[in-house]
Amino acid sequence: MDTLIAMGASAAYLYSLPGVARMHHHVYFESAAAIVAFVLGGRYMEERAKGKASEAIRKLIELQPETAIRVTGNGDETVAIDDVQLGDRLRVRPGDKVPTDGVVEEGASSLDESMLTGESLPVSKGAGDAVVGGCLNGNGGFILRVTAVGGDTVLSGIVKLVHHAAGTKLPVQKFADHASRRVSCRRWPALAG
């Protein structure tokens, strides 16, 4: 696509040079400038959107706590989130972030799931209900059984989707790039000759 833009702006500029020398009224310098300005403006907006996506990814990653409280036969122990395994029982205290995806086994609480659903009201959770890692626990405590860890959690899936979307070209962009390569390779020699 850059080739077509460069060709269009260059053609408008080069076509206008003799017109200036002969004092014709038909010059296209503003067209060349407008083409470049529109493209630069579009690229600026694209980079800004990518920056916002990167910021969103960073905020999502920050939602996951670094430690969890594992319930064992000998009591509770604090472990790194990377040491949590499927089937572990984790204690979630009031005000804590849910460490990973799981199912409530004991207790009840209300969770702030706004990062996932956008809903501002807390959602009540009790025994048998699924919870998503990264959600903020409300006023009750509960014990959950871990059903997903690491890259298999809902939060990790969201991060992957946002990252993929930020780096993927739309089909129309791919088509424009392909078409511009074909047009520029075949037409430029004919225009120059």
pLDDT at 174 over 80: no
Which amino acid type is present at position 19?
A: G
**Percentage of the chain exceeding pLDDT 90:** 34
pLDDT of 88 over the 90 cut: yes
User: Which CATH code is given to the segment(s) 66-152?
Assistant: 2.70.150.10
**Percentage with pLDDT > 70 across the chain:** 86
Of the candidates 105, 108, 153, 144, which has an alpha carbon nearest to the alpha carbon of residue 126? 108
**Nearest-angstrom CA–CA distance, 87 and 175:** 47
Sign of CA dihedral 12, 13, 19, 24: positive
Which two three-digit tokens encode residue 55? 């910021």
Q: How confident is the model at residue 104 (pLDDT cuts 50, 70, 90)?
A: very high
Residues 6+ apart with CB under 8 A from 123: 110, 111, 113
- φ and ψ of 147, to 5 deg: -115, -15
Confidence band (pLDDT; 50, 70, 90) for 34? confident
Residue 184 has pLDDT above 70, yes or no: no
Tell me the average pLDDT across 12-17: 83
Say how many residues make up the chain.
Answer: 193
Contact yes or no for 144/105 (Cβ under 8 A):
yes
Question: Model confidence over 133-171: pLDDT tens digits?
Answer: 989 999 999 999 999 998 888 888 888 887 777 667 667
Domain residues of the chain, as ranges?
A: 2-61+174-192, 66-152
Quote the pLDDT of residue 28.
80
113-117, 128-132, 134-138: which has the minimum mean pLDDT?
A: 113-117
| pLDDT winner (highest mean) among 64-68, 73-77, 127-131 | 127-131
State the helix-helix crossing angle for 2-21 and 29-62, rounded to 10 degrees. Answer: 150
Question: CA separation (Å) from 96 to 65, 93, 150, 153, 171?
Answer: 9, 6, 19, 18, 42
The predicted model gives 70-92 an average pLDDT of 92
Q: Could you tell me which residues come within 8 angstroms of residue 181 by beta carbon, excluding any fewer than 6 positions away?
A: 3
Q: pLDDT confidence of 51, banded at 50, 70, 90?
A: confident
Q: Report the distance separating Cα 98 and Cα 81, nearest Å.
A: 11
Q: How confident is the model at residue 107 (pLDDT cuts 50, 70, 90)?
A: very high
Q: How far is CA 8 from the centre of its chain?
A: 33
